[in-house]
Structure 1
């Protein structure tokens, strides 16, 4: 079993050496990669000195880094963690063992923190809200959809499209697993405070809005019948409410004096019907796309399968 540890980094000179050392101790046979996202400090120099294989990604954004990581690295199991020392490297062996022994495609390291500065209150609340939203939209979810600490099978890595650019990539990862009905698991991990000199790159409101937009986009793309069906029903309901006074007047005097309103109602009804059928057509296209992703997924052997042993 070949294990690759993938560490996306940006200006983490204060933590990268200790992060690499921690994963090397926990997974001594793994190959450690540092994917530097155009750092302006000594991150690259320190990572190379610590013995990691360093790759550079010039396009800013974690999603761009994840895209390169899965494309460039070939392994049986991928362990992804931030290079800021917030994730506990000692949990990695359990995550790898669970993924391999239970033949899972993704294991999420759910964060539990004791340090006051480890996880801001706004982020905790946002995580809960988005987790519940994802569960409502897609039927099931994870305990911590924004965790950057995950183990993946080769099946997952080579079928994940990685279309996001920034921190919304964790949401895309979760939806990808849910949509293909992959076997997944979770392992509780300690989440620590950043070391002195390391700063969070996550903006609560800016990235929160991007994550919400990503969930909405994924819902529209992956669940088009529900999305367009809801839109069609909403438009049609509004048309009916607007038409009620027209019907009352018609039954009273036998005329429709508010002709522009009647035209509006007719137009809204036509739009609702077109929206509904657009959802059906896009749903068929989505099914074909999902089949293609499923075939790409099945092209790789399952973790822990006889083909891999």
Structure 2
């Protein structure tokens, strides 16, 4: 017996009164079978009233930050396919059916809407450079399967959403989502979608330097947690290199004179070698722990049926 898949459009909002009605209207037209959820994050304007009048299901999350909002949405809402999009009316709702189709027909777990700016003002130079830099960094470490890591427009499967342990509190949530699916080797796809300039009265909540630093900090933590052997091996290599640079002159002097004139430096070099060995040992131990955690997350993911299987 078949049934229609449940689709939920999730819109995190903070002070988006100028654009939220258009977003709800456009996604209702693009995905008429979907439930439209607007999650307000302490807006000080008329976002809630306007979203309610537009026909959205409005809920709230009082902890400030997009990561907290996404965590609440994923916990509260049960669906087969989740389309998450920012409430600033910069993303193209017409692309939503294609995102959903790839989840249902290709059994993808994440489909990213890669932004194609309709004009130069839509994508600020600082944001574009930061996005390219961070996307390249993640691709080098976790694998290249995405060109626009920080896009706020994605479709997700139920089994991915319900097995994803969110840690982020802010805009770094997009980075965490991508690294999670890359590390587990889940099916990922991407389509190009127009990205337009914000309308009058809508202001970007992203702060280039502050949020960029938070994303880099998250990436470093995820490398340590998901790839501890590589992380601690790199630390061990740096410590060993410093120890060699400090220790070689001392060894040469000792070979020539039989004396150790710089005893504090010799002790420091010895301490660095010991620290290097400890770092490598920690990496080996934590790599086993990370492998067990990865297997547990994969088993949780595999315990849920794909959306297409649910409809049979």
Superposition TM-score tier, normalisation by shorter sequence: over 0.9
TM-score (norm 2): 0.97
The corresponding residue for 1:226 is 230
Q: Could you tell me how far apart the structure 1 residues matched to 2:124 and 2:83 are? A: 25
Q: Write the mapping of 1:1-309 to structure 2, written as runs, cut at 5 A.
A: 1-305=5-309, 307-309=310-312
Number of aligned residue pairs: give it. 308
Q: Could you tell me how far apart the structure 2 residues matched to 1:194 and 1:89 are? A: 15
Q: What secondary structure is seen at the aligned counterpart in 2 of 1:7? A: strand
CA contact (8 A) 2:113 2:190 kept: yes
**Unmatched runs of 5 consecutive residues or more in structure 1:** none
Deviations 1:214-239 (A, max 9, x none): 11111111110000001001101110
Q: Could you tell me how far apart the structure 1 residues matched to 2:249 and 2:113 are? A: 57
CA contact (8 A) 1:131 1:141 kept: no
Runs of 4+ more than 3 Å apart: none
**Unmatched runs of 5 consecutive residues or more in structure 2:** none
CA contact (8 A) 1:14 1:198 kept: yes
Deviates more, 1:250-259 or 1:165-174: 250-259
Q: What secondary structure is seen at the aligned counterpart in 2 of 1:304? A: helix
CA contact (8 A) 2:9 2:35 kept: yes
TM-score (norm 1): 0.98
CA contact (8 A) 1:86 1:193 kept: yes
Q: What secondary structure is seen at the aligned counterpart in 1 of 2:24? A: helix
Q: Could you tell me how far apart the structure 2 residues matched to 1:13 and 1:143 are? A: 30
CA contact (8 A) 1:115 1:193 kept: yes
Deviations 1:79-119 (A, max 9, x none): 00011110110000011011211110000000001223211
